[in-house]
């Protein structure tokens, strides 16, 4: 923990899908900043040094139980929610099944809604809170083969902005962080020619690390970002500029 971190009061932070990828980097960044962190995961053992609760974001009862357990461990409400859990089921529009569309919306958009709704209860009582929704550059940029995913990620913008308008007066902010292409298991499966095509359009000329997303999430959740709400913050090396 840094000296700066020690001076601040630790917050209770819940990161959904914090067992791997971007979520894990976010969880580790909050731990390094001196906060109390709980991650959600669906199976297996938690990564070293982290506390986990089980949570299936497509199930409201599971979300409720995860928050209740987290609140017991924290001894108080969740003050920072990072809704990070997400999936892709890519295929072209004409081939996409209802199940492929619905399940991605249910996980990425409705899952974030369920977590934000549950988190808001404690935040309203405390008159303080940070809700950070992990979207994607493709939410506003669009992406062939990802109509379900892009729609789910665009929906997070309306979700965050409506929460901002509902709860802004209670010390609660809701923002969207929109990563570009990040080196994780999700992008490892992309074909090489598709990766090359993306790289050609990224002004930064490279993919990002999960840690580069995590540091922005931490800032948005900090006291210094108290006047930022309803914002879409890109972490995309310039890929989505102007969108
Ligand atoms: P990963 O595939 O590495 O991890 C996804 C996480 O979400 C896992 O922890 C997974 O849990 C969890 N999850 C998935 N479905 C559910 C569910 N129904 N209930 C609870 N948890 C669930 O993804 P990334 O780290 O790459 O991505 C994290 C977020 O960032 C996602 O929202 C993604 O859309 C977004 N993003 C990623 C980009 C990238 O380039 N990688 C770019 C832009 C946005 P489990 O381990 O149990 O499967």
Spatial distance between the Cα atoms of 74 and 182, rounded to a whole number of angstroms: 31
Helix or strand holding residue 51 (H, E): strand 51-54
Virtual torsion, Cα 95, 99, 105, 107, nearest 10 deg? -130
Residue 239 lies in a domain: no
CA of 6 relative to ligand 1 center, distance in Å: 30
Residue 242 lies in a domain: no
The single residue of 141, 149, 198, 227 carrying the catalytic annotation is 149
96-113 mean pLDDT: 99
* 227 is annotated as an active-site residue: no
Q: How far is CA 189 from CA 88, 89, 199, in A?
A: 11, 12, 15
The pLDDT value recorded for residue 6 is: 52
Nearest alpha carbon, ligand 1 atom 27 = 22
Atom of ligand 1 nearest to the CA of 43: 47
Residue pair 80/132 in contact by the 8 Å Cβ criterion: yes
Spatial distance between the Cα atoms of 38 and 40, rounded to a whole number of angstroms: 7
Cβ–ligand 1 distance for 117 under 6 Å, the answer no
Residue 243 lies in a domain: no
CATH code, domain carrying 27: 3.40.50.720
On average, the pLDDT of the chain sits at: 95
Single out the residue of 123, 223, 236, 220 nearest to residue 176, CA to CA: 220
The pLDDT confidence band at residue 194, using thresholds 50, 70 and 90, is confident
pLDDT reading at 5 higher than 60: no
Looking at the DSSP bridge assignments, the partners of residue 178 are: 234
The pLDDT value recorded for residue 184 is: 85
Cβ–ligand 1 distance for 58 under 6 Å, the answer yes
Report the predicted TM-score, pTM, of the whole model to 2 decimal places: 0.96
128-138 mean pLDDT: 98
Single out the residue of 57, 7, 50 nearest to residue 30, CA to CA: 50
pLDDT reading at 1 higher than 60: no
The pLDDT value recorded for residue 186 is: 78
Residues found in the chain? 243
Residue 241 lies in a domain: no
Cβ–ligand 1 distance for 185 under 6 Å, the answer yes
Percent of the chain with pLDDT over 70: 97
Crossing angle of helices 147-167 and 111-126, rounded to 10°: 20
Residue 73 lies in a domain: yes
Spatial distance between the Cα atoms of 115 and 201, rounded to a whole number of angstroms: 34
Residue 156 lies in a domain: yes
Greatest Cα pair distance in the chain: 55
Residue 133 lies in a domain: yes
Give residue 196's domain range.
3-234
Cβ–ligand 1 distance for 42 under 6 Å, the answer yes
Q: Which of 15, 16, 21, 234 to mutate to test the pocket of ligand 1 (most atoms within 8 A of CB)?
A: 21
Atom of ligand 1 nearest to the CA of 182: 40
Strands of the sheet containing 129-134, edge to edge, are 51-54, 36-41, 12-15, 80-83, 129-134, 172-179, 232-235
- Number of domains observed in the structure of the chain: 1
The pLDDT value recorded for residue 8 is: 77
pLDDT reading at 48 higher than 90: yes
Cβ–ligand 1 distance for 7 under 6 Å, the answer no
Residue 40 lies in a domain: yes
């Amino acid at each position: 923990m840094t000296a700066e971190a020690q001076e601040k009061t630790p917050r209770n932070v819940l990161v959904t899908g914090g067992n791997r990828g971007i979520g894990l980097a976010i969880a580790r960044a909050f731990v390094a900043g001196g906060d109390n962190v709980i991650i959600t995961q669906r199976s297996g053992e938690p990564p070293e040094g982290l506390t986990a609760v089980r949570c299936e974001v497509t199930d409201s009862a599971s979300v409720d139980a995860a928050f209740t357990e987290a609140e017991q461990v924290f001894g108080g409400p969740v003050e920072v929610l990072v809704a990070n859990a997400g999936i892709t089921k890519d295929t072209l529009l004409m081939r996409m099944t209802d199940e492929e569309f619905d399940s991605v919306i249910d996980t990425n958009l409705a899952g974030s809604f369920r977590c934000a709704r549950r988190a808001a209860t404690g935040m309203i009582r405390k008159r303080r809170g940070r809700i950070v929704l992990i979207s994607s550059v493709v939410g506003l940029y669009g992406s062939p083969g990802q109509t379900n995913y892009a729609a789910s990620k665009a929906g997070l913008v309306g979700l965050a902005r409506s929460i901002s308008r509902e709860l802004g007066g209670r010390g609660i902010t809701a923002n969207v962080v929109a990563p570009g292409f990040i080196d994780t298991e999700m992008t490892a499966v992309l074909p090489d020619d598709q990766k090359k095509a993306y790289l050609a359009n990224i002004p930064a000329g490279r993919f990002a690390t999960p840690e580069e997303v995590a540091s922005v999430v931490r800032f948005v959740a900090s006291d210094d970002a108290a006047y930022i709400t309803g914002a879409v913050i890109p972490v995309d090396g310039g890929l989505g500029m102007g969108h």
